[in-house]
A = this chain, B = another copy of it.
Amino acid sequence: MVGGGVIGLTVAWRAAEAGWRVTVHDPAADLSGPTAAAAWVAGGMLTPITEGATAAEEAGYGLGVASLRRFPEFAAELERASRLPSGLRPEGSLAVGLTADDVTELRLFADRLAHLGRRCTVLGPAQCRALEPMLSARVFGGVEIPGDLAVDNRALLGALGEACRRRGVAMDSRAVTELAELTADQVVLAAGAWSSALVPGLPVRPVKGEILRLRRSPGTPPPTSRTIRAAVPGGHVYLVPRHDGVVVGATQQDVGFDTEVTAGSVARLLADALTVMPELGGYAMAEAGAGLRPMTPDGLPLLGRLNDRVVLAVGHGRNGLLLAPITADLVLGALLAAEPVLAGVDIALVRPNRFSEIAANARIAT
């Protein structure tokens, strides 16, 4: 296993459970603190579709739903295996709008959710504030989506690391500079944004995401129980609850491997968060961080066998946490067969060679 982020650890734990002898290669292989993994700074919102979703993101809806359905049992098994909390929160999410236009958008989004068969409820401002009292009086309406989940990303990573240890997964912190140097029969590549350094031409590149962690101070109201999403100028802000505060996310910046948190990003995230929930101003500014999301051209991961020896589990973009359970199922299938089958999931969408085929077809056409 090359990579000890949420994908690498999930696959390693599941593979070890299935009887494989597994070594995780990651520079942060002690797994006890901050890592370079994108999941370390994630918000932890687990939703297969948001009101801001692009058409490309909607293409992954089926995959996301299939993984979301697996999550409760996945988390329960992880807690049994690790004897640690998984960090899963079942309260769902509440999308809110602060203008009439935004609330109209939310109603269209509710129609779309209903069409997809998901439960949701359109709410007026008073109903929104009854559910989440910290919301601003400026909130104009919202949509509650009870089926969404959220997870404390660091609790989950901690539990995964412990589950791996208990299953005898070996950890190796030496840098892997090429896959050929590994002696394993089978290699799973899950090195996130760094994966293309190990498989030249792999269409995965880093997209920086910045988040803030705000911690409740004495005398301030408790954090929300639901994940809150709100339309703001230039995008959406989300507030994902933790037991002791909220995570505010997230920016998206196409700036290579730079992980600096800029003053402008912090200013925007804070201004947006305080617009939605003014009382968060009394929370402590606990952390500002940046991670590198491994992004593919179509926003969907590359999952499956690359060659006789290498299986890919890369390119999860912003959905690494959500897609971890189904990724493990797919990769375990791929370790045993060339073309795994998974009920209800269109595997073709995530086939590792889809971009080279597109490129080849384009060449034939011209």
Contacts and interface: CB of A to CB of B under 8 A. Distances in A.
Interface of A: 212, 214, 217, 260-267, 270-271, 273-274, 280-285, 288
Copies of this chain, complex-wide, total 2
A143 to B, nearest CB: 26
Given A267-B267, A270-B267, A274-B267, A262 B284 contact: yes
A288 B263 CA distance: 11
Which of A262, A273, A280 gathers the greatest number of chain B CB atoms within 10 Å? A262
Contacts of A283: 262-263
Contacts of A262: 217, 281-285
A271 B263 contact: no
A281 B267 contact: yes
Given A263-B284, A263-B285, 19 more contacts: A212-B263, A217-B260, A217-B262, A261-B285, A262-B284, A263-B270, A263-B273, A263-B280, A263-B281, A264-B280, A264-B281, A266-B266, A266-B270, A266-B285, A267-B267, A267-B274, A267-B281, A270-B270, A285-B288
A341 to B, nearest CB: 47
Chain A contact residues, majority secondary structure:
helix
A131 to B, nearest CB: 22
A220 to B, nearest CB: 9
B264 A271 contact: no
The 8 closest A-B CB pairs, nearest first, are A264-B281, A267-B270, A260-B284, A266-B285, A261-B285, A263-B283, A214-B263, A263-B285
A273 B261 CA distance: 16
- Max chain B CB contacts within 10 Å: which of A217, A263, A267? A263
14 contacts: A212-B263, A217-B260, A260-B284, A262-B282, A262-B283, A263-B273, A263-B274, A263-B282, A263-B285, A264-B282, A266-B266, A267-B270, A270-B270, A285-B288
A217 B284 CA distance: 26
Contacts of A264: 274, 280-282
Best-surrounded residue of A260, A265, A273 (most CB of chain B within 10 A): A260
